[in-house]
């Protein structure tokens, strides 16, 4: 009798479509406390989900999953992303505008042009985590019974320059 060890198997899906993108303005506050100038990027998003196969032999249905990712990207598109949890910034919400104070500087933006993100900074790494949290919520609501173990989200701000979040599902 031959003893054949079976290799462990793991499965994942990855989606990285051209239309998983958003064009947004932002600025970072660096570790030394300095603020970079307000500027924009054409961000690209990729998503990888690892988990168990269902009875049909798939981790998750691509066709049903892709619109969710696109909707998340669309929600960030053509907006200024402001980190509302930054300990260095003071953010004031008014009826028609958002005021952001950094030291003695004041930035006033139309409210409809701003998305306040519950982040300490708008780095690609933290944007990737934000997108991952949105995906996690959406998958749990829409795809009952899936057995996803982990997810990885990449947010690329320029070709070859991406922040990646990896976490448990």
Q: Region 82-93: what's the mean pLDDT? A: 97
Alpha helix segments (H runs only) across the chain: 62-76, 124-142
Is the pTM higher than 0.95? The answer reads: no
Helix (H, G, I), strand (E, B) or coil at 111: helix
Place of tokens 């991952």: 132
More confident position, 1 or 155: 155
How would residue 145 be classed by pLDDT, with cut points 50, 70 and 90? Answer: confident
Q: State the chain's mean pLDDT as an integer.
A: 95
Continuous segment of H or E residues that includes residue 21: strand 21-26
DSSP assigned state of 29:
B
% of the chain at pLDDT higher than 70: 96
pLDDT tens digit string along 90-133?
999 999 999 999 999 999 999 999 999 999 999 999 999 999 99
Statement: residue 27 has pLDDT above 80:
yes
Smallest CA-to-CA distance from 93 within 103, 102, 84 is with: 84
Separation between Cα atoms, residue 66 and residue 20, nearest integer Å: 9
Q: Which residues contact 32 (CB under 8 A, 6 or more apart)?
A: none
Separation between Cα atoms, residue 44 and residue 48, nearest integer Å: 14
Instruction: Dig out the tokens for 102 from the structure.
Output: 């950094």
Separation between Cα atoms, residue 23 and residue 69, nearest integer Å: 15
Q: List residues bridging with 91 in a β-sheet.
A: 100
The pLDDT of residue 3 is: 59
């Amino acid at each position: 009798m031959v003893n054949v060890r079976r290799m462990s198997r793991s499965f994942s899906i990855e989606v990285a479509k051209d239309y998983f993108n958003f064009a947004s303005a932002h600025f970072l506050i660096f570790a030394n406390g300095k603020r970079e100038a307000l500027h924009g990027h054409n961000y690209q998003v990729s998503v990888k989900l690892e988990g168990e196969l269902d009875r049909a032999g798939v981790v998750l249905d691509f066709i049903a999953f892709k619109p969710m990712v696109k909707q998340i990207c669309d929600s960030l598109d053509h907006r200024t992303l402001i980190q509302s949890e930054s300990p260095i910034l003071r953010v004031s919400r008014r009826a028609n505008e958002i005021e952001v104070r950094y030291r003695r500087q004041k930035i006033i933006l139309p409210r409809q042009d701003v998305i306040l993100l519950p982040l300490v900074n708008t780095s690609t790494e933290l944007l990737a985590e934000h997108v991952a949290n949105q995906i996690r919520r959406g998958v749990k609501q829409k795809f009952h019974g899936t057995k996803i173990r982990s997810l990885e989200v990449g947010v690329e701000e320029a070709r070859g320059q991406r922040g990646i979040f990896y976490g448990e599902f």
